[in-house]
Structure 1
Amino acid sequence: MCGILGVVATTPVNQLLYDGLQVLQHRGQDAAGIATAQAGRFHMHKGSGLVRDVFRTRNMRNLTGNWGIGHCRYPTAGSAYNPAEAQPFYVNSPFGLMLAHNGNLTNSDELKREMFLADLRHINTNSDSEVLLNVLAHELQEHAKGPRLESEQIFKAVAGVMRRVKGAYAAVVMIAGYGLLAFRDPHGIRPLVIGSNEALGGTEYLVASESVAIDVLGFKLLRDIAPGEAVLIDTTGKLESRQCASGFPHAPCMFEFVYLARPDSLIDGISVYDSRVKMGEFLAERIRQKHGDLRIDVVIPIPDSARTAAMELASRLSVPYREGFVKNRYIGRTFIMPGQAIRRKSVRQKLNAIHQEFAGKNVLLVDDSIVRGTTSREIINMAREAGATKVFMASAAPPVRFANVYGIDMPSRNELIAAFRSEDEIGGEIGADALIYQSLDDLKTAVRSLNPAINVFEASCFDGSYITGDITAAYLNEIEDARNVVAPASNAGGGDSDDESDEEGGGQMDLNLVSQEDR
């Protein structure tokens, strides 16, 4: 997953994009980049690390102009350690284009071959986002009738992209001399919203991965960009939109609601916070019906994203809710640490138990999901060491059994604790006295109840059903082989209980297109 922003304003946008990326930092901590435009020139700075680490005052001064895009990266394709894969990406033929992308293309290898052999384009990195950029550039070249673009030609080019590209994508694009383009894949797997602001110089527009960025930056949420829709905003603030692909089921990613998105966001008309309340409601009913013999003294969430579901669950079961763990937010990611012993040590540095909340009690721990099980096992041990009599574990999501190919970097299936085990076997592996999973039907019903117009969800990591229809066993095997080779660089894309993406600093790389700053 990644966070993307695009803005057309009446005043300089560098600070606006910086602030917006900080709001979306939870969507990607490995790299960040901002590109702006002024007087026909692009300016860009990007590098590895958190937003606060990548940008300094001297970088921000170079990012001049009243429109631009931003990106914070969490790698799901390419290399996590290659600073050249920080976004935005740039091409200058046939038009100057800057692109930032959230999602994952499932036919990127095929597209690379097509572009090399037929489109005569060369891809410089392993990133599928660069593939998407070059496909768009080629389609613009095919539909342009001269040196200047018109909106009709741009929309036709996006329609061409949607015919060729498969997978999940939400993108913002700067088109030199024209303005900002934003579009979303025909299934609407990854989220994208648009907001506006009435300023002295006219109407300003902001496109973002989540509505929380619209709110925090002082814009008014207009709507979600529809699946298969493209929105075009020229540098004067004129907005046009066009449906470029249709006839596909709208299928937002279920993991956005379970874990990825901030609770104060709205996605496709659904409050993420309310969806997690509903998850707690349905999970409580499941415990009441199928595990009514459990004597639970206290409900304790595993911070952070499980809190909402845990509070509602405790209320529905009439059991006290307590905060039993304190989280240290300044510990590096456990998934890049070699060896289970070091990983376990890191888990203990990340979370510490408040002993009086556990001593002599039957404790129900609630998490948003369980991916590897490594952290769940260690947390259960911590609860026992803190004096818990019994430790039960509840997951607001169903068992994660399959690879995700649409922009969440799940571990290799061999690393997924639920991939080849029953629920009883999983409970034994993590050392729980009882393990309760949300059912997939209940999860879908819980989220759908907040917007009945959404009939389908992309839930492949739970059920192995891939909405785009192009995922074969051979494709999944290739992914498994690739991830097994680079396992130290992979992360569980969701689940606080399994190697959550914490903040981590990194190096910088100045790619300002106007001048290389003397560093």
Structure 2
Amino acid sequence: MFSRILHDKPKEECGVFGIYAPGIDVDAAQLTYYGLYALQHRGQDSAGIAVSNSQSINVHKGLGLVAQVFNENNLKQLKGSMAVGHVRYSTTGASSLENAQPVISRFSDKTLCLAHNGNLTNTNELRQHLAKNKVFFQTTSDSEIILQLISQNSTLSLTEAVKMTMHQIKGAYSLVIMTENQLIGARDPKGMRPLCFGTLGEGYVLASESCALDAVGAQFSRDVKPGEIITIDQAGIKSTQFPLSSQRSLCIFEYIYLARVDSVIDGESVNQVRRNLGKALAQEYFIHADMVIPVPDSGITSALGYTEESGLPYKEGLTKNRYAGRTFIQPGQELRELGVKLKFNPIKDILKGQGIVMVDDSLVRGTTCRQIVKMLRQAGVMEVHLLVASPPILCPCYYGIDIASPDQLVAARFNQEEIRRFIGADSLHYLSLNGLFSALKAPREEFCSACFNGTYPTEMARSI
């Protein structure tokens, strides 16, 4: 009845990073490496860095994690005081070296580098338009479409070319763009994907999340506004505002799961929001149990919030193999359950004979939770109550998270009691939408929650 897929979390979209530091004694490539390392949770398929020395641009990129793609030798080859970096998870376009970013083109007499986080919803329409203009594509990603659209407007200034392109593209995007002597950051008019900037001495840094600024010693300035274009060059920093959308729609999953817990996005602490989610869970569902345990690592902060509100003791009942990471070589079909055991293992002396509340951030397919509950039973747990710190995921995402079909979503196919029986828990409870939004400072209208309620903030193109 249920598909047996090992990976049971929404995969992240991408992470972008940029630094502008001419005249400052810094190694732009090395700092970009550190920034990408801090953003590694946003994409593990590929990584890349492009560096400018003001005369030319040198690029190195490859498949794998940041530490696998870069080493001391190839970083030394990337000389310059400006850089753009990217970590990728493939949402549009295959996971292959050709789709690794930054992507490169020409803009008048300059080299143009682009790193993109998000997903366009009118990709097919734009690709057909560019093909009619004799544009030949080197990749299958929508990021190259954005790059080619900017290049088509090379008679304009780069800022105006980016602005013109923003009139043509639809969907979610945060962009970091570089030429030999200019760095630009841009965010879609609804602010669906995060982007912030800060200062590093007399230089500037752009990043998907504030944790990357912390990693390189930059001082956070502010988030890039929805529809804003930030231009950085020898004249300083300039803001250009694309026509404002009627409503901001930041992806709610940034707070639930995608962002790192130490980041601050659009003025809200991810850590505090996740604690508030746990507290809201406790207010809605107080369970008489012996302890609260998280599904590490994504459920930890909400579990702490639950225990703060409920008064139940918090224990780390599951240990996680940190070397497995969020992705690892998956075993054959007959060894799927062993694959989960490579990542999680119960601590038997804590759990034996106990009734537990197990908190996780979200439930997508349910297969991993099922196997965890089975392991807990084998460890001697008497009762397992699964509490999910978000509502049921019912609808696909078209904006950069790999929830592409309702067939992948357990809550879209089965009712709550059927899911509980499949997982094997004594009870299953989801946080309500009202509880979710109670954890946030901003009004619910300022977030995209389409995966929960099917209300999409942009018009869906026929190409989807």
The bucket for the TM-score relative to the shorter chain is over 0.9
Match of 2:438 in 1: 445
- Structure 2 residue corresponding to 1:33, chosen from 48, 68, 84: 48
- 2:392 and 2:437 map into 1 onto residues whose CA distance is 14
Shift of 1:441: 2.0
Q: Secondary structure at the match of 2:138?
A: coil
- 2:429 and 2:360 map into 1 onto residues whose CA distance is 11
Match of 1:91 in 2: 105
Distance 1:59 1:237, change over 3 A: farther
- 2:453 and 2:332 map into 1 onto residues whose CA distance is 30
- 1:350 and 1:2 map into 2 onto residues whose CA distance is 23
Q: Secondary structure at the match of 1:246?
A: coil
Structure 2 length-normalised TM: 0.93
- 1:175 and 1:44 map into 2 onto residues whose CA distance is 12
- 1:456 and 1:411 map into 2 onto residues whose CA distance is 23
- 1:437 and 1:237 map into 2 onto residues whose CA distance is 51
- 2:314 and 2:325 map into 1 onto residues whose CA distance is 29
- 1:331 and 1:309 map into 2 onto residues whose CA distance is 22
Q: Secondary structure at the match of 2:289?
A: coil
Shift of 1:323: 0.2
More moved, 238-247 vs 14-23: 238-247
What is the identity, as a one-letter code, of the residue corresponding to 2:267? G
What is the identity, as a one-letter code, of the residue corresponding to 1:91? S
Match of 2:121 in 1: 106
Q: Secondary structure at the match of 1:181?
A: strand
Shift of 1:429: 1.5
Match of 2:447 in 1: 457
| Native 8 Å contact 1:331 1:346 kept in 2 | no
Q: Secondary structure at the match of 1:116?
A: helix
- 2:230 and 2:272 map into 1 onto residues whose CA distance is 28
| Native 8 Å contact 1:97 1:174 kept in 2 | yes
Match of 1:491 in 2: none
| Native 8 Å contact 1:36 1:67 kept in 2 | yes
Aligned pairs for 1:175-190 within 5 A: 175-176=179-180, 178-190=181-193
What is the identity, as a one-letter code, of the residue corresponding to 1:287? Y
Distance 1:311 1:343, change over 3 A: same
Flag structure 1 segments of 5+ consecutive residues without an equivalent.
Answer: 145-152, 289-293, 476-519
More moved, 309-318 vs 183-192: 309-318
- 2:408 and 2:453 map into 1 onto residues whose CA distance is 17
- Structure 2 residue corresponding to 1:284, chosen from 275, 282, 285: 282
* Identity in percent: 42
| Native 8 Å contact 2:190 2:245 kept in 1 | no
State whether structure 2 residue 78 is matched by structure 1 residue 63: yes
Shift of 1:120: 2.8
Shift of 1:391: 0.8
What is the identity, as a one-letter code, of the residue corresponding to 2:172? A
- Structure 2 residue corresponding to 1:251, chosen from 244, 249, 264: 249
Residue-by-residue CA offset, 1:74-128 (whole Å, 9 max, x unaligned): 1111111x111110000024342000010011111110000111x3322121111
Shift of 1:400: 1.2
Aligned pairs for 1:381-396 within 5 A: 381-396=374-389
Q: Secondary structure at the match of 1:304?
A: coil
Aligned pairs for 1:480-495 within 5 A: none
Match of 2:149 in 1: 135
What is the identity, as a one-letter code, of the residue corresponding to 2:97? P
- 1:404 and 1:418 map into 2 onto residues whose CA distance is 14
Match of 1:482 in 2: none
Residue-by-residue CA offset, 1:164-183 (whole Å, 9 max, x unaligned): 1001000101123x410110
State whether structure 2 residue 17 is matched by structure 1 residue 5: yes
- Structure 1 residue corresponding to 2:314, chosen from 309, 315, 321: 321
- 1:216 and 1:333 map into 2 onto residues whose CA distance is 21
- 1:170 and 1:437 map into 2 onto residues whose CA distance is 31
What is the identity, as a one-letter code, of the residue corresponding to 2:136? H
Structure 1 length-normalised TM: 0.83
State whether structure 2 residue 162 is matched by structure 1 residue 162: no
Distance 1:377 1:108, change over 3 A: same
Match of 2:228 in 1: 229
What is the identity, as a one-letter code, of the residue corresponding to 2:214? D
State whether structure 2 residue 239 is matched by structure 1 residue 241: yes
Match of 2:29 in 1: 14
Q: Secondary structure at the match of 1:365?
A: strand
Shift of 1:360: 1.1
What is the identity, as a one-letter code, of the residue corresponding to 1:196? T
What is the identity, as a one-letter code, of the residue corresponding to 1:78? G
State whether structure 2 residue 417 is matched by structure 1 residue 424: yes
State whether structure 2 residue 402 is matched by structure 1 residue 409: yes
State whether structure 2 residue 356 is matched by structure 1 residue 376: no
- 1:226 and 1:237 map into 2 onto residues whose CA distance is 21
- 1:57 and 1:248 map into 2 onto residues whose CA distance is 47
Q: Secondary structure at the match of 2:126?
A: helix
- 1:50 and 1:414 map into 2 onto residues whose CA distance is 29
State whether structure 2 residue 293 is matched by structure 1 residue 300: yes
What is the identity, as a one-letter code, of the residue corresponding to 1:160? M
Distance 1:34 1:257, change over 3 A: same
What is the identity, as a one-letter code, of the residue corresponding to 2:48? G
Shift of 1:51: 0.7
- 1:263 and 1:363 map into 2 onto residues whose CA distance is 24
| Native 8 Å contact 1:335 1:343 kept in 2 | no
Q: Secondary structure at the match of 1:92?
A: strand
Shift of 1:332: 7.0
- 1:224 and 1:332 map into 2 onto residues whose CA distance is 29
| Native 8 Å contact 2:53 2:80 kept in 1 | yes
- 1:197 and 1:383 map into 2 onto residues whose CA distance is 48
What is the identity, as a one-letter code, of the residue corresponding to 2:197? I
Q: Secondary structure at the match of 1:470?
A: coil
- 1:58 and 1:349 map into 2 onto residues whose CA distance is 33
Aligned pairs for 1:360-371 within 5 A: 360-371=353-364
Residue-by-residue CA offset, 1:456-480 (whole Å, 9 max, x unaligned): 21112111221112256x73xxxxx
Flag structure 2 segments of 5+ consecutive residues without an equivalent.
Answer: 1-12
Shift of 1:46: 0.3
What is the identity, as a one-letter code, of the residue corresponding to 1:206? V
| Native 8 Å contact 2:353 2:380 kept in 1 | yes
- 2:221 and 2:327 map into 1 onto residues whose CA distance is 39
Shift of 1:333: 6.1
